[in-house]
Structure 1
Amino acid sequence: MLAFRSTAGVIALAILAMGDAKADTDFGIGLKAGTLGLGIEASWQPLPYIDIRIGANAYDYEDSGSQAGIPYDATLSLDNLYATGNFHFPVSPLRITAGVYSNGNEIRMLNDERLDLTIGGITYPGAGIGTLSSVTTFDSTSPYLGLGFDFTLAGKVGLNLDLGVLWQGEPGVTLDASGALNQDPAFQAALETERLELEDEMSDFKAWPVVSLGVVYKF
């Protein structure tokens, strides 16, 4: 489900930027879609070849699969705010983009099948395990670096393409069980072994590829 964490704040910043800049600089607002979800973005060009952009992205994607040998129902929750600076090459649509993201991306996983599972190399009965739940989070502040292309479609309407990498950092992973075995120290040790294996797999997401396409209107 689409859920912007601070849409009101983003819109307020955009309005302030427009009010300060519209007299002699370009201001734009647009919609984007890509690997960070659906988003809104405001841009302000205070100097030739330089612009500043602020925006927000969000989206929830649900899937199922196996992680560390255990089947899960998973939700990838994309949720971030960002600010970037952009350098435009003269007589070219190409730009270099660098910025910082307030990163709320997380992966939530659940197994409530109550079937026998191998956890930390040991097989346990599903009735004793109960529900397995895991949450993976990343650094709350994440740097971004990429390339972009800005094209004029017609009049004040343009098209933006972004290609880059969001460095989310090392993942933090929790893994909990709701069943009676949760009180067993040996099971807790096996659960920690499983958590570490899961954390190792989730490290694949520390560098998040960013590809997005947007439509912008310039005032």
Structure 2
Amino acid sequence: MRCSSQTNTHRSLSPVIKALSVALIMLAATGNLQAEVSVSTHISTIGPGIELGYKLSPAFGVRAGWQQFATDFDFKPEDENGVPGDELTYEGDLDLKNGSLMADWYPYQGRFRLTAGLLLNNSGTKLTTNCKTNTAGTVPVANSCEVGGSSVSGSDIGEVDITIDFEERIAPYIGLGWAFQQGKSWFISADLGVAFLGKANADIQTTGSCNNTESCRSQLDDEEREIEEDMESLKFFPVAKLGFGYRF
């Protein structure tokens, strides 16, 4: 399965976030501004970010946000051929870029809320590797690596580039949360939920002759499937968020 373009997706999501923010500001401008509009910053499992909210009534509210974070990321697929130390170790960057649009229901018109919404997922990772950077093991690997459960020579595979993202670019989200008022305007918030990211997509390209050999290319396809299976647990991604904000 091949990945969609990160650049194109980012361009398509950015206007959505801007439009949502403008819509909330216009909505707030038409109503009562007293303790209705909120601005907050937060840390979360999908990165730090900012959020703009509007309380439609004591029982309902909406929020739009953006989270972004980048960090180093290493990944090693599981051993499939029984030879320790010949697995490729992928190294690169993990880029978290997510917009969000949430609807809140306060069943008791107090601190507690139930939330449903959409996570506009533009996250992904780009990794590189070669046989020289495979894991040190107890069995000499003679400059060969495990690819798709079989050994491939370093000269055949060359430099390896892999891109990983998720199929659900607009991911459903459900969760619950609390907002604790601190004085007249300041507040602390907490959210716990889960986003359905769907199946992971891995795309591997190499600079070696492997791309031009049907049997070797088949092993690369198997490696892609192994990586996708290793990331199956991230299909339902846990989202935890702690925020601090101000209500106008």
How high is the TM-score relative to the length of structure 1?
0.89
Tell me the amino acid that sits aligned with residue 106 of structure 2: H
CA contact (8 A) 1:52 1:84 kept: yes
| 1:182 counterpart = 2:205 | no
2-side partners of 1:79 and 1:73: how far apart? 19
Partner of 1:63: 73
Partner of 1:51: 61
**1:216/1:158 CA distance change after superposition, 3 Å:** same
Give the superposition deviation at 1:8: 4.6
RMSD, matched Cα: 2.2
Unmatched 5+ residue regions in structure 1?
A: none
Greater CA drift, 52-61 or 14-23: 14-23
Give the superposition deviation at 1:121: 2.5
| 1:75 counterpart = 2:85 | no
CA contact (8 A) 2:197 2:237 kept: yes
**1:43/1:152 CA distance change after superposition, 3 Å:** same
Give the superposition deviation at 1:110: 1.5
**Deviation per CA, 1:81-128, whole angstroms, max 9, x where unpaired?**
111110113264211010012111213221145452111232222122
Tell me the secondary structure at the aligned position of residue 108 of structure 2.
Answer: coil
Partner of 1:201: 230
2-side partners of 1:143 and 1:9: how far apart? 19
| 1:121 counterpart = 2:139 | no
2-side partners of 1:159 and 1:67: how far apart? 40
Q: Give the number of aligned pairs.
A: 217
How high is the TM-score relative to the length of structure 2?
0.80
2-side partners of 1:82 and 1:30: how far apart? 14
Where is the strand percentage greater, Structure 1 or Structure 2? Answer: 1
Tell me the amino acid that sits aligned with residue 58 of structure 2: P
From 131, 138, 144, the equivalent of 2:159 is 131
Tell me the secondary structure at the aligned position of residue 47 of structure 1.
Answer: coil
Unmatched 5+ residue regions in structure 2?
A: 1-9, 79-86, 133-142
CA contact (8 A) 2:35 2:247 kept: no
CA contact (8 A) 1:25 1:44 kept: no
**Deviation per CA, 1:113-145, whole angstroms, max 9, x where unpaired?**
545211123222212211112112211111000
CA contact (8 A) 1:106 1:135 kept: yes
| 1:102 counterpart = 2:120 | yes
Give the superposition deviation at 1:15: 2.8
Tell me the amino acid that sits aligned with residue 195 of structure 1: E
CA contact (8 A) 1:133 1:175 kept: yes
Q: Percent identity?
A: 23
2-side partners of 1:124 and 1:113: how far apart? 9
Tell me the secondary structure at the aligned position of residue 89 of structure 1.
Answer: coil
CA contact (8 A) 1:21 1:44 kept: no
Tell me the amino acid that sits aligned with residue 55 of structure 2: Q
Q: Counterparts of 1:26-41 in structure 2 under 5 Å?
A: 26-41=36-51
